[in-house]
Structure formats: C-alpha cells, structure tokens
C-alpha cells in the first residue's frame, strides 16, 4: 500500500496508511471516557491525532515512538489539520521503509562538512584551533554531528539538520564580519561550530527524533560547555598552553547563545561575540522554520495556520 504523506492530506480525506506515532497520551473527557492524543508523523511533517472512546489496552499497545497503521479521517480543528482515528495497530519496524519517515537535508552532507572544515581552517588563534581540532579529529563525534537533527521540531528538524544549521551560520558570520571590524572573528567561528555540538548527545534520531535521558537531565548547552573544558584540560595535559580566559570566553558564548533565560540560556550575552552568535543562530533558525512552514504546511494557499511559536500566521503568497 502506498504511503499517504502528511503534507498531502486534505480536510475530509479518508486515511488508511502507516505513520510514525510520537508522544501518545491517554486522557479522559469530561464524561470520563478515555481518548488518546498523539502526533502522527512522517518525513514531510506531523499532525495531531485523536482517537476517541478508546481503552487503556489500546493505549498500551502503541509504540512510544514507533509505527502504526491508522484508519480514520482528516479534519480541520481550530485552523489546524488533525486526524480522527477509528482504528490503530502497531506495525513492526522491519516492515516499514524508514526513508518515508525520517526527514533528511536536501543538501550534500559531505560537501557541507568539507566547507565547514574550510571555514574553520581560517581560524588563526593557536588555542582555538587546537580546541576545534579536539572535536574535528573525533571521528565518532563528527559522524554524529553530520547525522543529527538540530531539533526535535521547530527548525532544521531532519537528519543532517545540525550540520546544515552550523554550515549556514558560519557562512552568515563570514558575510557580516567586514561590517564589524572589532569582532574577535576566531572566537565567533569556534563558538558557532561548537554551540550546538551537545545536540549530538541530547537528541536521539535512530527511529524518531526525541530527547535522550542526558538531553533531558543536562541539555546540549551545558553538555557542550563541559566538553570544551575537558578538551582544554586534555590539551594542557599534553603540555599546550591553554589560557583559561579564552576557554571561559568560548564557554560564555555557548552558554549565552539562546539569548535569554526564558529560552534556556544559563547566561545572558555579555560580549559582542556572544550577541553576534545569538542573533545569527536565531536568524538562521527562524528562516528555516518559516520557509519550511510556508512550503510544506497543508491548508490555505495564501496563509498558514496560526503558529504559536512565532505568534502569527505566515503569508505564503509571493508578491514579485
């Protein structure tokens, strides 16, 4: 049976296809009836799924996450597409074509990584160059860096997304450096390369994108800061002079790159380089998120549904 992709679903359509299910939750209505809320996903996106008047046994039969065969219908609810599920059964992973369900970058991964290495080769500081090499020479870490998504959702949420996001940020930095001659360029380039490196441990991406225990308990920002300090200590043990002031500045940019405490930064930006990395990070994330929604979200041809994370609907009609 051909797979029905999420971005092809129209309101009022009969659904009879295999999907990935994420985060199923068993809830009760005001009348005390059970229903299941879940995300129904494939490589093109995800929609809310609701199964009414169900049982705890059905809920316990669902993989968390995993693949299920769903029969039901689609409908618009509060300007968002959702699937009302009539029946659901688990499907073994080996019966599924994973390429239908795990989104991946459309760019050439090998070429992006080569360009990242070329940009990092411009770093002149012996200290920062040595710290960068501690990561780039770790083949296992770089394999994860090239495969990992940059997020579970929101932006660059696909295989290769972390590399794509980092690659794009480095290119943005190079393009604006001439406008800000007092910026410590090497510090910005090193921080951009490392700012999300902790996501290689924070996120799992073998079957569905989710947070690891380490991701939930520590998070990528703190994890990366710990790694930087460990790499600095390892270099010192080899006899290399690694000033703590430089390590602290690099760690500060990583710790501050989300910009505010509200968005998860343990520290607020306190250096020009930290502000630059924060704004480049936010710019690239927002552009990726907006473009993905405009291109892929089903619904009205001129407007997307309300996007709570952006606090707006997006106008997608091109005016040129």
Over residues 226-270, the pLDDT tens digits come to: 999 999 999 999 999 999 999 999 999 999 999 999 999 999 999
Domain membership flag for residue 320: no
The encoded tokens of residue 7 equal: 């971005």
The pLDDT-based confidence of 173 (bands split at 50, 70, 90) is very high
Q: Is 92 helix (H, G, I), strand (E, B) or coil?
A: coil
Q: In this predicted structure, which of 48-52, 137-141, 181-185, 293-297 has the lowest mean pLDDT?
A: 293-297
Work out the average pLDDT over 87-105.
87
As given in the structure block, the two tokens for residue 94 are: 């080996």
Q: What tokens appear for 157 in the block? A: 């949420």
The CATH number of the domain holding residue 36 is 2.40.50.140
Whether 1 is in a domain gets the answer no
> Helices (DSSP H) in the chain: which residue ranges?
56-61, 109-120, 126-136, 139-147, 161-176, 185-194, 199-202, 213-217, 220-237, 244-256, 272-296
What CA–CA distance (Å, rounded) separates 43 from 146?
18
Q: Is residue 119 part of a domain?
A: yes
Are the C-beta atoms of 80 and 58 separated by less than 8 Å? no
The DSSP symbol for 82 reads E
Burial code of 14-44, b = ≥16 C-beta within 10 A, e = fewer?
ebebbbbbbebebeeeeeeebbbebbbbbbb
Are 87 and 124 within one domain? no
Question: 96 with 113, same domain?
Answer: no
Q: Is residue 71 part of a domain?
A: yes
Rounded mean pLDDT of 24-47? 90
Q: How high is the pLDDT of residue 117? A: 98
Q: Is residue 86 part of a domain?
A: yes
Listed residues 100, 125, 140: the one ending a domain: 100
Statement to judge: residues 287 and 155 lie in one domain: yes
Q: Quick one: pLDDT band at residue 154, thresholds 50, 70, 90?
A: confident
Structure tokens at 203: 């996120």
Q: Are residues 241 and 153 part of one domain?
A: yes
Alpha-carbon separation of residue 127 from 33, 193, 257 (angstroms): 62, 15, 21
Question: Tokens 């600095």 label which residue?
Answer: 232
Could you give the number of structural domains in the chain?
Answer: 2
Q: Are residues 264 and 122 in the same domain?
A: yes
pLDDT band at 296; cut points 50, 70, 90? confident
pLDDT above 90 covers a percentage of the chain that reads: 70
Say whether both 76 and 160 belong to one domain. Answer: no
Range of the domain at 238: 109-293
Residues 92 and 35 occupy one common structural domain:
yes
Q: What is the pLDDT of residue 188?
A: 98
Bond into 65 cis (ω within 30): yes
In a domain, 122, yes or no: yes
Residues 169 and 271 in one domain: yes
Paired tokens of 310: 């952006």
Looking at the fold, whether 169 and 187 belong to one and the same domain comes out as yes
Tell me the average pLDDT across 71-85. Answer: 91
pLDDT at 60 over 90: yes
Question: Looking at the domain assignment, is residue 191 inside a domain?
Answer: yes
For residues 18 and 69, the answer to whether their CB atoms sit within 8 Å is yes
| Bridge pairing between strands 210-211 and 203-204 | antiparallel
What DSSP state is assigned to residue 109?
H
Considering the domain architecture, whether residues 236 and 265 belong to the same structural domain is answered as yes
Question: Regarding beta strands 45-54 and 34-42, do their DSSP bridges make them parallel or antiparallel, or are they unpaired?
Answer: antiparallel
Claim to verify: residue 92 and residue 116 sit in the same structural domain: no
Residue 311: inside a domain: no
Six token digits for residue 206: 């073998």
**Of the listed ranges 25-29, 207-211, 257-261, 287-291, the one predicted with least confidence:** 207-211
User: How many whole angstroms separate alpha carbon 36 and alpha carbon 56?
Assistant: 9
Higher pLDDT, 56 or 309: 56
Same domain, 184 and 132: yes
* pLDDT band at 4; cut points 50, 70, 90: confident
- As a whole number of angstroms, the distance between CA 73 and CA 13 comes to 6
Question: Which residues face 80 on adjacent strands?
Answer: 77
Write the CB contacts of 308 (distance below 8 Å, at least 6 apart in sequence).
Answer: none
Averaged pLDDT of the chain:
92
Query: What is d(CA 55, CA 227) in angstroms, rounded to the nearest whole number?
Result: 46
């Amino acid at each position: 049976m051909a797979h029905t992709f999420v971005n092809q679903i129209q309101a009022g359509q009969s659904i009879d296809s295999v999907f990935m299910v994420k985060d199923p939750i068993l809830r009760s209505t005001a009348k005390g009836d059970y229903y299941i809320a879940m995300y129904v996903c494939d490589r093109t996106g995800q929609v809310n799924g609701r199964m009414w008047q169900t049982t705890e046994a059905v809920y316990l039969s669902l993989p968390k996450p995993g693949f299920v065969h769903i029969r039901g219908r689609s409908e618009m609810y509060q300007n968002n597409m959702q699937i009302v599920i009539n029946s659901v059964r688990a499907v073994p992973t080996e019966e599924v074509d994973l390429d239908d369900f795990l989104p991946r970058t459309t760019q050439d991964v090998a070429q992006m990584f080569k360009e990242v290495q070329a940009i990092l080769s411009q770093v002149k500081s012996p200290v920062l160059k040595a710290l960068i090499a501690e990561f780039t020479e770790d083949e296992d870490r770089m394999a994860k860096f090239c495969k990992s998504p940059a997020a579970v959702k929101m932006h660059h949420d696909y295989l290769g997304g972390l590399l794509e996001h980092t690659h794009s940020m480095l290119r943005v930095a190079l393009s604006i450096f001439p406008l800000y001659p007092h910026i410590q360029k090497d510090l910005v380039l090193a921080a951009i390369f490392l700012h999300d490196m902790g996501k290689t441990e924070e996120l799992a991406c073998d079957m569905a994108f989710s947070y690891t225990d380490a991701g939930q308990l520590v998070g990528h920002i703190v994890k990366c800061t710990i790694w930087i300090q460990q790499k600095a200590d390892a270099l010192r043990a080899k006899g290399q002079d690694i000033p703590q002031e430089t390590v602290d500045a690099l760690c500060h940019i990583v710790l501050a790159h989300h910009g505010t405490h509200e968005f998860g930064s343990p520290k607020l930006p306190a250096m020009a380089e930290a502000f630059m990395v924060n704004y480049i990070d936010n710019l690239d994330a927002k552009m990726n998120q907006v473009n993905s929604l405009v291109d892929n979200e089903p619904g009205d041809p001129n407007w997307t549904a309300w996007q709570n994370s952006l606090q707006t609907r997006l106008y997608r009609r091109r005016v040129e």
